[in-house]
Amino acid sequence: MDLNPGKRYSARDLYQELPAPWKARLFQLLRDHPIAHENKPALFGEIFNQLCQYSYLARFKFGADLKDDNKARLARIKGNEMYHPRVMKYNDALVYYNEAIAFAPQDSVDRAIAYANRSIICLEQGMYGECLVNTQLARESSFPQRFLGILAIREAKAKAACQAMRQQNKVGGNRNTNRNRHQAKDLRLHTLIPCEGCTMVMYCSEDCLSKARLQYHRYECTIIRNLWNLSGVYAITVWRTIAKAILSFQNLQAMKEYLEMTLQLNQLCDIAANSLALTPYRTNINPALPFRTFLAAIMHRMVLDGTQLGPFCVYDPAMNRLLCDLILHYLNVFSEIERT
CATH number, domain with residue 84: 1.25.40
User: Do 301 and 221 share a structural domain?
Assistant: yes
> Of how many residues is the chain composed?
340
CB contact set of 129 (below 8 Å; sequence gap of 6+):
158, 162
- Quick check: is 102 in a domain? yes
Flag whether pLDDT at 281 surpasses 50: no
User: Do 278 and 234 share a structural domain?
Assistant: yes
User: Do 49 and 110 share a structural domain?
Assistant: no
Mean pLDDT along residues 135-159: 95
Closest CA relative to residue 337, chosen from 232, 218, 217, 203: 232
Q: What is the pLDDT of residue 270?
A: 47
Give how many domains the chain has, as a whole number.
Answer: 2
Q: Which domain holds residue 91?
A: 69-173+187-196
Closest CA relative to residue 43, chosen from 335, 271, 321, 330: 321
- Quick check: is 180 in a domain? no
Tens digit of pLDDT for each residue in 225-246?
Answer: 999 999 999 999 999 999 998 8
Instruction: Look at 13 and 84; give whichever has higher pLDDT.
Output: 84
What is the average pLDDT score of the chain?
A: 84
User: Do 97 and 39 share a structural domain?
Assistant: no
Mean pLDDT along residues 292-317: 92
- Quick check: is 181 in a domain? no
- Quick check: is 322 in a domain? yes
Last residue of a domain, one of 196, 227, 248: 196
User: Do 299 and 313 share a structural domain?
Assistant: yes
Closest CA relative to residue 162, chosen from 190, 129, 209: 129
Mean pLDDT along residues 288-301: 92
Q: Quick one: DSSP state of residue 33?
A: S
Cα(336)–Cα(219) distance, integer angstroms: 24
- Quick check: is 209 in a domain? yes
User: Do 333 and 214 share a structural domain?
Assistant: yes
User: Do 218 and 106 share a structural domain?
Assistant: no
- Quick check: is 130 in a domain? yes
Last residue of a domain, one of 161, 196, 231: 196
Flag whether pLDDT at 113 surpasses 70: yes
CB contact set of 183 (below 8 Å; sequence gap of 6+):
90, 91, 125
User: Do 330 and 209 share a structural domain?
Assistant: yes
Tally the C-alpha atoms within 13 A of residue 244's C-alpha that lie toward its C-beta. 9
Q: What is the pLDDT of residue 100?
A: 98
CB contact set of 207 (below 8 Å; sequence gap of 6+):
none
Cα(242)–Cα(215) distance, integer angstroms: 11
CA angle in degrees (0–180, nearest 5) for 69-75-76: 90
| Amino acid type, 19 | P
CB contact set of 179 (below 8 Å; sequence gap of 6+):
126
Mean pLDDT along residues 13-21: 85
CB contact set of 26 (below 8 Å; sequence gap of 6+):
47, 290, 293, 294
Cα(200)–Cα(204) distance, integer angstroms: 14
Q: What is the pLDDT of residue 282?
A: 44
User: Do 73 and 60 share a structural domain?
Assistant: no
User: Do 168 and 106 share a structural domain?
Assistant: yes
The pTM assigned to this predicted structure is 0.83
User: Do 256 and 164 share a structural domain?
Assistant: no
Q: What is the pLDDT of residue 312?
A: 87
User: Do 157 and 75 share a structural domain?
Assistant: yes
Q: What is the pLDDT of residue 202?
A: 97
Q: What is the pLDDT of residue 65?
A: 93
- Quick check: is 321 in a domain? yes
- Quick check: is 133 in a domain? yes
Q: Distances in Å between the alpha carbon of 185 and those of 15, 90, 106, 222, 326?
A: 36, 10, 27, 30, 36
Last residue of a domain, one of 196, 228, 263: 196
